[in-house]
Amino acid sequence: MARRVTTRLGPVTLTSPLIAASGTVGSVWEFAEVADLSVYGAAVAKSVSLEPWPGRPPPRVAPSGTGMLNGIGIQNPGVETWMAEVAPRLSGLETPVWGSVVGREPGEFARVAERLEPAVAAIEINLSCPNLDGHMIALDPELSGEVVEAVRAAVSTPVGAKLSPNAPDPAAVAAACARAGADWVVLTNTVWGAAIDPATRRPVLSGVVGGLSGPPLKPLALRCVVEVHRALPDLPIVGCGGVKSGLDVVEYLLAGASAVALGTVHFAEPKAGRRILDELTRWMERTGVSQVEDLVGAMETP
């Protein structure tokens, strides 16, 4: 019997629980040239700001155990160039493309979202970039709520808020975002990390501290999903962090995520989405699970 892999994320129905994570699939159209986009329910473009951002100088990526550190600093061409050069290339893609917006204060996020809206199916609000100087918005429930409120007022597309595993209380941030009108939360972005080269005694990244992603992030992000789902069982969640197999997806679904984003795995294996979806459906067949939605939040509590 075929397994049902569709899933609902608030107002959005996804044909697959897999989402291609922002910053790991370029502006999506390039990724569509090397991978099968149809295995994803949605693909999220790299975050975009109001003005062009140059990002940090190199070195800005480095391996770290089984994961990776990055300190890109959201290099992007700014929303006007993005709309002129990227948006026209997205219209032919069958998989819904979501935009990701970033900024320094609520009004700036709202202006970028408003400008992006005609080109995207939904908007992810990146409150949690670890590589911007100054305060990370996702550490602060009140400020996170203000940003979501501003974006919510500016657009009518569905809106998700991307949060940080560095927040002392992710459930408090998620609650503020939900109150302000977020349709779902993404848990999580990368976690702050660093590496030093003993030979040179220099930090490996130009920004010294960057964002750790890949398998070492998974337990931290999964813990955030468990905590937020426990506190806010009706708030839809996209799990994200360290997924590299179908079983990792099952864990996030059981913890309370309705969809699961893949990021770092794409760098070593651009076609990972196909393999991971096959692993998920084979596991469902073996264990007698007929639909993905039956797994959401189905963790047995001791």
Ligand X SMILES: Cc1cc2nc3c(=O)[nH]c(=O)nc-3n(C[C@H](O)[C@H](O)[C@H](O)COP(=O)(O)O)c2cc1C
Which residues form the interface with ligand X (CB under 6 A)?
Answer: 21-24, 46-47, 68, 70, 72, 74, 100, 126, 162, 189-190, 213-214, 217, 240-243, 262-265
Q: Which is nearer to ligand X, 43 or 289 (CB)?
A: 43
Q: Which is nearer to ligand X, 17 or 241 (CB)?
A: 241
- Give the nearest distance from C-beta 259 to ligand X in angstroms: 13
Q: Which is nearer to ligand X, 21 or 235 (CB)?
A: 21
Specify whether 129 is catalytic: yes
Secondary structure, 3-state, the chain = CCCECCEEECCEEECCCEEECCCCCCCCHHHHCCCCHHHCCEEECCCECCCCECCCCCCCEEEECCEEEECCCCCECCHHHHHHHCHHHHCCCCCCEEEEECCCCHHHHHHHHHHHHHHCCEEEEECCCCCCCCCCHHHCHHHHHHHHHHHHHHCCCCEEEECCCCCCCHHHHHHHHHHCCCCEEEECCCEEEECEECCCCEECCCCCEEEEECHHHHHHHHHHHHHHHHHCCCCCEEEECCCCCHHHHHHHHHHCCCEEEECCHHHHCCCHHHHHHHHHHHHHHHHCCCEHHHCCCCCCCC
Q: Which is nearer to ligand X, 7 or 213 (CB)?
A: 213
- Give the nearest distance from C-beta 214 to ligand X in angstroms: 5
Point out the residue whose Cβ comes nearest to ligand X: 23
Q: Which of 129, 177, 224, 240 is catalytic?
A: 129
Residues with catalytic roles: 129
